[in-house]
A = this chain, B = another copy of it.
Amino acid sequence: MKNFHYNVPTEIFFGKGAIKNLNNIAKYGKRILLVYGRDSIKKMGLYDEVVKILDQADTTYIELTNVEPNPRIESVREGVVLCREHDIDVVLAVGGGSVIDCAKVVAAGAVYDGDAWDLVLHPDKIVDALPVVTVLTLAATGSEMNGNAVISDLKTREKLGTGSDMLKPKFSIMDPEHTFTVSKGMTAAGIADIMSHTFENYFTPVKGAYVQARICESLLKACIYYGPLAIEEPDNYEARANLMWAGSLAINGICSLGQQTAWTVHPMEHELSAYYDITHGVGLAILTPPWMRYVLSDETVDKFVEYGVNVWGLDADGDPFDVANVAIDKTEAFLKSLGLPMKLSEVGIDRQYFEEMAKNCEERTQEGYVPLTYRDSIAIFEAAL
């Protein structure tokens, strides 16, 4: 196990009716920027609930709306202007990971003397931020309980992650009922995202981070057990609750700290989303099985066997490569069973930009569990076609 610094100050109010705790926001200030996407929070009645609580808490709010999936730097800049114009104290995100990520960089940009894109390119420039509070409506990114944010500039075809302790939400409201109306497709993409975060934390070269590895397996098992249930029965509270909590734990440090993690599938997927604006979780689902097959080797086979035995209940006996391949096949079949596209060609991506995208992310993939050159990434893209 490697040395680590655990620092997860975000409070979580979890469960039915947890929204009532939103009134705690007044502790952080009276002037609020309310950030959300399109009209789904209005359709489900959550918008009205939020506004009522803000009113009762004697706060005032300004809105930043229409935040996109794969949130754009333009939305961030718009939010920064609103914060300055209206002397905002707190940024409140009501939505999924995209809305929360946008809100985080707005919160940092509001107190930064320069363009917010600097903060995406240079996370170390985030030395202060307005307090962030979230109301989560999608089990996926885990952004509600960490300091990370991913922002896109579609003009330059860049989708980049940034992060800082300053961006960790003060508190997050997590009511599984707020995810009942998430579509089957987005539910599946969210599950693929949670599983990918866990895989990136699980497949690491570090030996002996046993507790973390077992917890990763716990979260993967939760996704496998409850994923199909949430898709078949969108209002299955138990399924939605376990997926929601698994989503937070997959990427709040519990799984990664003490490991040596350097994600590779995520940087590759960020290229897909930056070039084609596809749903992040869909891109991850498509890339994960080919990535697993590509990195399977004499060096990594034991880890894949561990995965197969502990997560899929496979028998450890037999040729380890056979066990590993069955585990990978089962992963692919599971993601497919959720209704996810499993080929790049299914989402309108051909090989036109493979080389460009692979070169763009090479710097980040070279640190991975199995370091990947741009040629390796191209091979994985090809296998995913």
Residues of A within 8 A of B (CB): 1-9, 11-18, 21, 176, 207-211, 214-215, 217-219, 221-222, 225-226, 237-238, 241-242, 245-246, 249, 254, 257-258
Contacts and interface: CB of A to CB of B under 8 A. Distances in A.
Contacts of A258: 14-15, 241, 245
A253 to B, nearest CB: 10
Contact of A15 (B4, B8, B222): B4
B211 A245 contact: yes
Nearest to A210: B242
Contacts of A214: 217-219, 221-222
Contacts of A12: 4-7
A8 B7 CA distance: 9
Contacts of A210: 222, 225-226, 238, 242
A6 B14 contact: yes
B217 A211 contact: no
A221 B242 CA distance: 21
B5 A241 contact: no
A238 B11 contact: no
Given A1-B238, A14-B4, A18-B3, A218 B219 contact: no
A6 B10 CA distance: 8
A202 to B, nearest CB: 13
Among A1, A7, A209, A222, find the residue whose CB has the most chain B CB atoms closer than 10 A.
Answer: A1
Given A211-B218, A218-B215, A219-B211, A11 B7 contact: yes
A184 to B, nearest CB: 21
A63 B210 CA distance: 37
Given A210-B222, A211-B245, 12 more contacts: A1-B242, A5-B11, A7-B11, A9-B9, A14-B257, A15-B258, A207-B238, A208-B238, A210-B225, A210-B238, A214-B219, A215-B218
19 contacts: A1-B241, A1-B242, A3-B15, A3-B16, A3-B18, A4-B12, A4-B14, A5-B13, A7-B11, A208-B238, A208-B241, A210-B222, A210-B226, A210-B238, A211-B246, A214-B222, A217-B218, A245-B258, A254-B254
Nearest to A18: B3
A200 B39 CA distance: 44
A222 B211 contact: yes
A21 B3 CA distance: 12
A8 B8 contact: yes
Contacts of A211: 218-219, 222, 242, 245-246, 249
A218 B17 CA distance: 30
State the 10 A-B residue pairs at the shortest beta-carbon distance, nearest first: A3-B15, A214-B218, A208-B238, A6-B12, A1-B241, A7-B11, A210-B242, A4-B14, A211-B222, A9-B9
Contacts of A217: 214, 218
Contacts of A6: 11-12, 14
